[in-house]
Amino acid sequence: MGDQRSSCSLATLEGDPNPIIPLTVQRKLVERGSQKGKGIAVLTSGGDSQGMNAAVRAVVRFGIYLGCKVYFIKEGYQGMVDGGSNIVEAEWASVSGIIHRGGTVIGSARCLDFKTREGEVKAAKNLLEKGICNLVVIGGDGSLTGANRFKNEWSSLLKELVDTKQISQELADRHSYLNIVGMVRFCAFSSLINCFLPRLALLTMTSVGQT
C-alpha cells in the first residue's frame, strides 16, 4: 500500500485548488512479550465513575500481554503513599467479571498527603521498591494535575531518596524516568462539558449582542 493512490484520487487533487490530501496510517503490530519485565501500575483517583473498571481491565490485560508486571494501586494516591498491601500485582483473572460493576474495584480516595513533598517522596519510594516507573492514572482534572506534578518532580525525588540513603544510586539510575498516562473519567468529562458549553453559549450571545 505505502503512499500509492489511485489515478482517480490524483486527478481529483490536480483539479482542486484546495485538495484534502489523504493520509497514510502506519499500523504496527505490538508483539506479545515485547515489554517483558517492565513494571506498570494503575490507580483510580477522585470520585467513582462508570467505565473505570473497564479501563482498569484494559490496562491490566494489555500490560500482561506485553509481558509487564502489572500492579493495582488500591485507594488511589493514598494507596501509593501508604504502600505495603495497597500495591499488589495483578493477574489476568484479577479483572475477570468486573466491567459490568459500578465504581472501581480497586478503590478510590482523595489524598491530601500526596500534595506534600513528604507524601510524594513516600509514593516514589513505594513505586521504586516494586520496580514501577510506568503509571496509569484514571481520574479527573485534579488527579491528572497531581500526576503531572509528580512526573515533573521525579528526578528531584530520586535525588532526595538517594541523598537520604533510602534507595541506591543503581536503583535510581534504572528508573530515572517516570512514564505517566492519564485517562479522564467520564463524569469529569461530562462535568467539563456541562460547565463549558453554557459559558460558551453565554459568551457567544454577548458577542452577538455587542456587534
Residue 3's alpha-carbon distances to 6, 24, 38, 182, in angstroms, are 10, 7, 35, 33
pLDDT one-digit tens code per residue, 2-50: 444 444 444 444 555 655 555 565 667 788 988 999 999 999 998 777 7
Which pairs count as long-range contacts for 122-125, CB under 8 Å and 24+ apart, including other chains? 122/81, 122/82, 122/83, 123/77, 123/80, 123/81, 123/83, 123/150, 124/150, 124/154, 124/157, 124/158, 124/161, 125/83, 125/161, 125/166, 125/167
Residue 204 has pLDDT above 90, yes or no: no
The rounded percent of the chain whose pLDDT value lies above 90 is 60
Average pLDDT, the chain: 82
Euclidean distance between CA atoms 74 and 71, whole angstroms: 9
Give the integer Cα–Cα distance in Å for 63 and 57.
10
End-to-end CA distance of the chain, in Å?
52
Measured between alpha carbons, how far is 99 from 57 in angstroms, rounded to an integer?
7
The DSSP code for 113 is G
pLDDT tens string 56-108: 999 999 999 999 999 999 999 999 999 999 999 999 999 999 988 888 999 99
Q: What is the pLDDT of residue 62?
A: 93
Assess whether pLDDT exceeds 50 at residue 152. yes
- Nearest Cα neighbor of 127 from 35, 40, 36 is 40
Taking each helix axis from N to C end, the angle separating 117-129 and 141-152, rounded to the nearest 10 degrees, works out to 80
pTM, 2 dp: 0.75
Higher pLDDT, residue 26 or 153:
153
Cell numbers describing residue 16: 482542486
User: Taking 90 as the threshold, does the pLDDT of residue 188 lie above it?
Assistant: no
Residue 201 clears pLDDT 60, i.e. is over it? no
